[in-house]
Each structure stands twice: as structure tokens, then as C-alpha cells.
Structure 1
Amino acid sequence: MRLRSIPLRLATGAYIFQSGWSKREADEGTAAALHGMAANAYPSLKSLSPKDFIRMLSMGEMAVGTALLTPFVPRSLAGLALTGFGGSLLGLYAKTPGLRQPGSILPSQEGTPIAKDVWLVGAGLSLLIDALTDRG
């Protein structure tokens, strides 16, 4: 792990890991709401029960967070995981009605909490570009 990538990996990794950790014991209402939103954007998720979905989401977030926090995971792999995770959230933002202002890519008030996840894609791409262009 390069010294220059430590702050980015610590901040994103801790945030994402904690997000997954907090979903481990999600109640039925939370699981159903998150599953419904995700299944509307990604129809293949409809075949999962809300309980299975939230368990997989929790484990996935903790896996991405762990990859970012683990020093021996290469920047390229950590960046790829982070870019994929952030991209899936932006896909949810793009595909969910009401999250954008009418006729715009700009977020509505309801969409701001998800649209802000664009920073995850930027951080992931930064790790990937850094790994691919590092001549050291």
C-alpha cells in the first residue's frame, strides 16, 4: 500500500465497512425497503427475499470495506471493488424515479443521499489510475 493511498483507503474502507456492519441486524421494514428500491433498479434482485438481500448487501459492503482497509490488497483490486460498489449505487440513483430533478441528472432532495455516492466512484477510479500509472 502506498502512503499516498492510505487516507483514501482508510476513509472509504471504514465508512463502507461500518455501513455493512450496521445492516447485519436490519429489521424487516428496513430490509424490505432497501430490497424494494434495489429490486426496482436491478430486477434480477426480485428473486431474493428481503432478508437474503440485506444479508448479502451487508456482507458485500463489509467485504469491500475490508479490501480497502487491508494493506496487502493491491490498489488495483481495492479500486476495482470500490468503483463497482459506487457504480452500483449510481445505477440505483439513475434508475429510481424521483431521485433526480425532472429532465435533469441533478438530484432531487430525496436523491441527494444516493447521488453523493459519486465520490465512491471517484475514489475507486483514483486508486485504479494510481495503480495503473505507477512507475515505481
Structure 2
Amino acid sequence: MTSRSACRITARQLPLRLTVGAFFLNSGLSKLHTDRAGAEGLQQFAAATYPFLGKLDAQRFARLLAAGELAIAGALLVPVVPAVAAGAALTAFSAGLLGLYLCTPGMRREGSLLPTEQGTALAKDVWLLGIGASLVIEGVTEHR
């Protein structure tokens, strides 16, 4: 593979990595300063699907969530991080979000994968899974 083809691969990834990375950076930074009530709300929502999260202090949970989002932002925004690594992190995080969507009562229409009005905010995160999987696939295939 020549350096010109490597540049094209990077250029192809830029729109995905920049937009999603900026989104995660904003989200992570906003969670760093979450007050107790906000942290408790985040934790209670997540713990309803992932009960082990209920054992954490709410403020600690919010800080860990913020740190995770900031780590994903960094992986996406720093160009030396391989696509497969950034994509794997994004895919894992989005799988957790989709787990919330699938397992939280009231997020989906009865007997369907279609979201309710309340579930649309989580259902839309399926795009994160698609972007993460695309980065992983591109990262794996670019070395062939």
C-alpha cells in the first residue's frame, strides 16, 4: 500500500471520526460537572438494565461515564489511533446503549423493535454501532 492510498483511507474516515468524536467530546465534558441529582438520574436509568452499576456511587458513575466518553472521543479524534481500535471502542459503547434501548421498558413498541417516542433518543444511537463497525471493518481490511 502506498502512502497515497493510506491518505485516502484516512481522508475517508475523517468525516466519521470528526463528527462522532466531537459529539463524544461534548457529551463527556458535560458529564464531568454533573450535579448529584443528574448523576443519580443517569445511574438509575443505566442500573435498571445493568444492575451492577447500581452498586457505584452516583457521582463516581457519572465521572466514569464521562471518562469513557472522553476516551472514545480521543480515540476518534487523534489520527494516530488505528481505525480498528477507535471503531472497537465505539462499537462496544454503542452496544451498551442499544442494550438500554432493548431492555428498558417503554422504549420500544409492544412486540416490535420500533421505538416509542421515549425510545427514539436511544434507538437513534444505532448509527454509532454502524460507524464503529465500519471503522473496525476498514481497519481490518486496510492491511490486506
TM-score, L = length of structure 1: 0.96
Q: Which runs of 4+ in 1 moved over 2 A?
A: none
User: Which has the larger Rg?
Assistant: 2
Specify the SS of the correspondent of 1:73.
Answer: coil
Aligned equivalents of 1:49 and 1:39: distance in 2?
12
Root-mean-square deviation (CA, aligned residues, Å) is 1.1
Residue 127 of structure 1: which of 101, 123, 135 is its match? 135
Specify the SS of the correspondent of 1:98.
Answer: coil
Residue 37 of structure 2: which of 22, 29, 33 is its match? 29
- Aligned residues: percent identity? 48
Report the equivalent of 2:48. Answer: 40
TM-score, L = length of structure 2: 0.91
- Runs of 5+ in structure 2 lacking a partner? 1-8
Corresponding pairs, count: 136
Aligned equivalents of 2:110 and 2:38: distance in 1?
27
Report the equivalent of 1:49. Answer: 57
Q: What is the CA-CA distance between 1:27 and the residue it aligns to?
A: 1.5
Report the equivalent of 1:96. Answer: 104
1:83 aligns with 2:124: no
**What per-residue deviation string (whole Å, max 9, x for no partner) do you get for residues 110-131 of structure 1?**
0000110000000000001111
Aligned equivalents of 2:143 and 2:83: distance in 1?
14
Aligned equivalents of 2:62 and 2:120: distance in 1?
22
